[in-house]
């Protein structure tokens, strides 16, 4: 199997952009139509671009829930027909998850996380988003930490994710949600 194209987009945290909700909505409609045979509920806008006023990497994170990963034959092809690219991430297979992006793996503007509806982690993504929307001080601290991590090394994604993890874990703990 050929290796996927490496990421080329640097980790850059930019001020909030008013166009992010519309960019999500445009793709939400397209993805919901493409995933209709598998989709449970609506596609959600998650991540920092879903929090008005929050600085973020300019990549729209989206969440889609499906009934059963094992019965999702054709899902990746359905997304490919509307321009989405399968972009496997470490741990996807074990977590029964699909990752796709638009327009390419190397230079993405959107990232779609497709998880089973019964997976225990997806509610945490919504709770984290909703908390940041309602608590500007926590959102500002999260933005500060992300900007510092990006400034320290704009290519090391594992380091960037690991650097954000303590803040996310602490916040989810305050919400009485523990990440898995």
pLDDT 10s per residue in the chain (180 long)?
A: 455 566 778 899 999 999 999 999 999 999 999 999 999 999 999 999 999 999 999 999 999 999 999 999 999 999 999 999 999 888 888 899 999 999 999 899 999 999 999 999 999 999 999 999 999 999 999 999 999 999 999 999 899 999 999 999 999 998 876 655
User: Is 58 a domain residue?
Assistant: yes
User: Is 6 a domain residue?
Assistant: no
pTM attached to this predicted model: 0.91
d(CA 100, CA 62): 10
d(CA 45, CA 53): 15
d(CA 58, CA 48): 9
User: Is 25 a domain residue?
Assistant: yes
User: Is 12 a domain residue?
Assistant: no
User: Is 13 a domain residue?
Assistant: no
φ, ψ of residue 35 to 5 degrees: the values are -95, 10
Structurally, the chain folds into a number of domains equal to 1
User: Is 4 a domain residue?
Assistant: no
Torsion of CA 141, 147, 149, 155, to 10 degrees: 150
Residue 7: predicted pLDDT: 72
User: Is 111 a domain residue?
Assistant: yes
Residue 91: predicted pLDDT: 87
Q: At what angle do helices 122-134 and 136-152 cross, to 10 degrees?
A: 110
Residue 63's CATH number: 3.30.460.10
Render 31-44 in DSSP notation, one character per residue.
HHHHTTTTEEEEEE
Residue 65: predicted pLDDT: 98
Residue 89: predicted pLDDT: 87
State which residues form the domain around 116: 20-174
**Whether 6 contacts 46, CB under 8 Å:** no
Residue 59: predicted pLDDT: 97
**Whether 151 contacts 166, CB under 8 Å:** no
Place of tokens 């993890």: 165
Residue 2: predicted pLDDT: 52
Residue 179: predicted pLDDT: 55
Residue 149: predicted pLDDT: 96
């Amino acid at each position: 199997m050929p290796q996927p194209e490496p990421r080329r987009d640097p980790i850059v945290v930019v001020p909030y952009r008013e166009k992010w909700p519309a960019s999500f909505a445009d793709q939400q409609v397209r993805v919901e139509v493409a995933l209709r045979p598998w989709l449970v509920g609506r596609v959600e806008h998650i991540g920092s671009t879903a929090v008005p006023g929050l600085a973020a990497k300019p990549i729209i994170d989206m969440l889609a829930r499906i009934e059963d990963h094992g019965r999702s034959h054709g899902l990746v092809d359905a997304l490919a027909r509307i321009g989405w690219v399968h972009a496997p991430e470490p741990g996807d297979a074990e977590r029964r998850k699909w990752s796709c992006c638009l327009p390419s793996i190397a230079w993405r503007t959107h990232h779609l996380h497709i998880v089973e509806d019964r997976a225990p982690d997806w509610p945490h993504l919504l709770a984290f988003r909703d908390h940041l929307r309602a608590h500007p001080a926590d959102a500002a601290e999260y933005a500060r930490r992300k900007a510092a991590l990006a400034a320290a090394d704009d290519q090391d994604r594992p380091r960037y994710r690991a650097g954000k993890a303590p803040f996310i874990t602490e916040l989810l703990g305050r919400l009485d949600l523990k990440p898995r």
